Each structure stands twice: as structure tokens, then as C-alpha cells.
Amino acid sequence: MKTNLNLKTMRICRRLALASVCSLSLEAQTVLPATGGGASDPRELIAQAVENNLGLQVERLEVEIREANIDAEWGRFSPVVNFEIGVDKVYRRRNAQELATDSIFSGLGPTFEGERGYFTTSLGGRLPLGTTYELATGSTRNQNTFTDQAGTPFAPEYGSDVRLTLTQPLLKNFGLDVNLAPVNIAKSERRIAEHETEGAIEAVMARVLLACYEAYFAEQNVAVKEESIVLAERLLGDNRKRVDQGRMSAIDVTQAEARLAEAQAERIEAVSFFRERQARLRELTQTRYEFGGAAYSFATLGELLPLPATVAEPETFVATLLEQNPDFLASVGQAEAEGVRVVFSRNQTYPEVNLRLSVGTSGLENDFGSSYRDFEERDGVDWGAALVLSMPLDNRTAKAQLRAAERRESQALLRVKETEIQLLRALDTAVENLKAGFERRRLIAESVRLAEEALVAEETRLANGVTTNNEVLNQQRELSVSQTQALAAEVEVHKAWLQLLLIQGILSEELGFNMKFEEGAEG
């Protein structure tokens, strides 16, 4: 009995020491920051976070980069205009063959001198079927040793021509699927970036809401600890009166003082957590972190995301998850892009067989305009047709690239399945957590009610002298713990509901924010 009394005395001394420390620092350390004048609006904080978050700015720029890549790929089909103008001056000695075959003109001498001015212009490009086209025209002005001789029809000579050339691949590089492959890959990459950005936005929203929930818990928990201090102070006052009346011993007052110090220490811890959650909210929502400032305060948890009346089975949410979860949609988009690469790579293993067609006409006169009008004097047109075959004897490179593309597609499809399984597992867990959260909240609410009743009963019994001071102290502790647990259970059930919405990819929708990207215009 003496040993137990000594142990109890030692515990009381430790509590008294804690009380003395707390009493010295309580006033300086536990003052809460002033609120901004009313409850904070979580919707406004979410909007600030989405606008100010640096990571989201990076994600948005990535979407813009992918959009620019689409424009760049479409640019492959833009017509190209070429223009060239120049002058060639020639002065050389005539060779023996030229001198020997000179039967028309005589006395030309051993040298050839000439000047050739020219211009050419063309419009060409490639079509989505793989067809390449070129419409070209040009004119030359020739004045040389031959044109300066008497009897030549034109001095100087102006020659002009116009020609349309078409080349159509028949195997390799033929068709929309092949020629639009870079565009379709760029579109898939843009969609992937959009889904990744949507996922990042919802993650930021979730972080802000979680911080709001925890800030609510922290603020309410401070109130719980303050209530606990009030109860401890009331018991201490009552015990002092009972000691004065001779109904209690001094040790009961000492125990009550120790309980008050314990309650004050719990409040310090609660205030510290409150300040930490306030700092977290400032980090998430402000462009520049500010020390101190008005505190965020939240009147309720379920204003933005009301809890469901009942919890459905996991199968109910699967269709929504597979249609809207950004991570799953991004994995599907990657598989689609790899499928396009396989189609392109397979086509590149075919022989290159091209049909080339050309049609045109020409004119020759003594001035520029007349050389073009001379086209009308032609009885027919110039034309040409050719079938061109090109095939490497060892098509190793193209075949190896096809094998690699097929393996990458298989990887992407496996990742789709892996992502699906992971998300379904997370969905199952979220539903079970929500169910457990509802049940835990119900049970802890009942424990709070019982703790309140037990405290009232023990206080009454103590006033009547049929119980000990220590029992009342224990009931005060139990009530404080139960109230904190009830707050935590309320927050946890809201967190579980938030997680279930986040997994489905509909958190922003439920919050009333339209964060989905509109389908980009084709082309």
C-alpha cells in the first residue's frame, strides 16, 4: 500500500512539474491566429490553388506544346512555293567535235560565248494519301554565239514551259493511315497530356479539400481541448471548496491541478497542429508564402461534398471509373498511339512502288510574253508516265522497327490492364473505407454520448461522496479522447468519400468545376 502511494505521489509530482511549465508558456504559445472574419469558402481556396499551383502551370504548358506539335505535323501537307532567278555567263573554247560538226554556221571562230538568264517557280506538296504534286513553270533567255548569227529565227531566244508532275505511292507510304500517322500520334499525345493535366488538377483539388478537412478538425479539436480545460478548472474549484469543507484531502486538489495541466498541454498540442494545417493551406493556395496572417475557418465539412445516404457496391462505380479516370484514359491513349506506330512501321516494310505521271507544254519565241503565247501553237502536249520500284535487298531495318513497335504496343496494352487492376483495387478499398468510416463514426458518436453521461454520473457521485476524485478525472480524459476521436472519424469518412470520387475521376465535376478539356478541332 505504501509503495502504491509513493508511485502515485511520483506521478502527481511529474504532473505538477508539467503544470508549472505549461503555466509559464501557455499564454504566449496557445493564442490562435485571428480568423478572416467568418467561415472560409473551400471553393474559393480550390480555385486559388488551381490557378496558382506551379505544377499545374507546367502541365498546362505541356498541353500547349502537344497542341503545337499537331500543327507542326499538319504542316507537312502545306504547299511549298519555290522561286529561282539567275544569270549564267559562259565563255569557253569550242572543242574539235563542235568545230567538225559545224555545218550550218561558218566563221564562228574557235570560241563560244553566251549568256543565259532564267527564272523558275513551282508549287508543290504532299497530300494525305501520299500523293506528291508539283506544278512548275519557267522561262529562259539565251543569247550566245549561235543565236547572234544571221538567219537564226530568234535572237535572243526566249523559251518557256509549264509542267504538272504527280507521284502516287502504291504500296509503301500509301493511304491515310500511314501519311496521317504523325498527326494521329501527336493527337494521342495531346489527349494524354490533357488527361494527365486533368488528373493533376483533381489531385490538387483533393489536397486542398483534405487540408480544409484537417484544418476543420484542428480548429474543432482546439475547442474540445478548451472544453476539457473548463471541466478541469471546474473540478479543481469544486475540490478546493470540498477541502475547505473538510470533505476532501489536499491530494484530491493536487490531482485536479495535475489534470488541468494535462488538459492545458493537450491544448498546446492541438494548437500546434492547428497552426501546421493553416500553413499547409497557405502553401497550397498562395503564390507567395506569408508567415502568420488570418486563419482559415470552416463551419462544416459536407457543404461542397455531401456524404451519400448509403454506400453502393464497388461494381456500381466501375463504368464511371473506366470512362473518366484520367490515369486510365492516359494509359489507353498511350496504347492507341503505339497502335498507330505499328500501322506505320508495318507499311514501311513494303516495297516502294510509285506511279509517276507528268504533263506539260513549252514555247519558243523572241520575247518573254510570246514564248508563253506560243503554247497555243502546239498540236499536242508533252507527257510522261513511269512505274518506279525501289526495294532494299535486306529490309532488316524496317522489319526490326516493326518488331520494336509491336513490342511497345504490347507493353502499352499491358500497362492499360495493369492500371485497370490497380484502379479497381483502389476502388474496392475506397468503398470499404467509406463503409468502415460510416460505422466507425456511428460507434464513436455513441461512445461520446456514453462518456458524457458517465462524466455527469461520476460528478454527481463525487458530490455525494460515493466515488473518488480519480474516477472523475479519468472520465474527463475519456470524454476528451472520445470527442477527438469523433472529430477524426467525421473527417475520415469525408476523406474516404473524397477518395472514392477522386478514383472515379469525377471530383471536379462533383465540386461544380468544369476542368475537362474540350475536344480539339481536327486539323
Is 50 exceeded by the pLDDT of residue 19?
Answer: no
Entry pTM: 0.78
| Residue 247 DSSP class | S
pLDDT at 76: 93
What does the alpha-carbon distance between residue 39 and residue 504 come to, in Å, rounded to a whole number? Answer: 29
pLDDT band (50, 70, 90) for residue 270: very high
Alpha-carbon distance of 110 to 92, in angstroms, equals: 9
What residue spans of 286-392 are helical by DSSP H?
Answer: 315-324, 326-347, 368-373
* Alpha-carbon gap, residue 177 to 77, rounded angstroms: 14
In this predicted model, what pLDDT tens digit does every residue of 218-246 receive, in sequence order?
999 899 999 989 988 988 898 899 888 88
Provide the grid cell at 208: 486542398
Residue 144 half-sphere exposure toward CB, CA atoms < 13 A:
20
Least confident of 98-102, 124-128, 154-158, 401-405: 98-102
pLDDT computed for residue 517 by the predictor? 75
Span 56-75, average pLDDT: 93
- Find the mean pLDDT for residues 332-358: 96
Residue 466's pLDDT band, with cuts at 50, 70 and 90, is: confident
pLDDT of residue 16: 38
pLDDT of residue 98: 66
Query: What are the residue boundaries of the structural domains of the chain, listed by start?
Result: 41-66+184-331+417-511, 86-126+131-172+352-390
At residue 140, φ and ψ (nearest 5 deg) are -130, 150
pLDDT of residue 99: 67
The whole-chain average pLDDT of the chain stands at 86
Round to whole Å and give the CA distance between 187 and 185. Answer: 5
**pLDDT recorded at residue 500:** 96
If pLDDT is split at 50, 70 and 90, which confidence band does 103 have?
A: low
Asked if 435 contacts 499 with a C-beta cutoff of 8 angstroms, the reply is no
Looking at domain 41-66+184-331+417-511, which CATH architecture does it have?
A: Up-down Bundle (1.20)
pLDDT, position 34: 55
Mean pLDDT lowest for which of 95-104, 164-173, 349-358, 419-428? 95-104
Q: What is the pLDDT of residues 120-140, one digit of tens each?
A: 999 999 999 999 999 999 999
In whole angstroms, how large is the CA radius of gyration of the chain? Answer: 44
DSSP 468: -
Q: Is the model more confident about 190 or about 19? A: 190
Give the pLDDT band (50/70/90) at residue 1: very low
The per-residue pLDDT for 432 is 95
pLDDT tens, position by position, 414-432: 999 999 999 999 999 999 9
Which triple of cell numbers denotes residue 171?
504500296
pLDDT: is 475 or 420 the higher one? Answer: 420
Q: What percent of the chain has pLDDT over 70?
A: 87
107 vs 43, which has greater pLDDT? 43
What is the model's pLDDT at position 106? 57
For residues 220 and 487, is the Cβ–Cβ distance under 8 A? yes
* pLDDT surpasses 70 at 184: yes
Check residues 355 and 371 and name the one with the higher pLDDT: 355
Mean pLDDT to the nearest integer, 112-119: 85
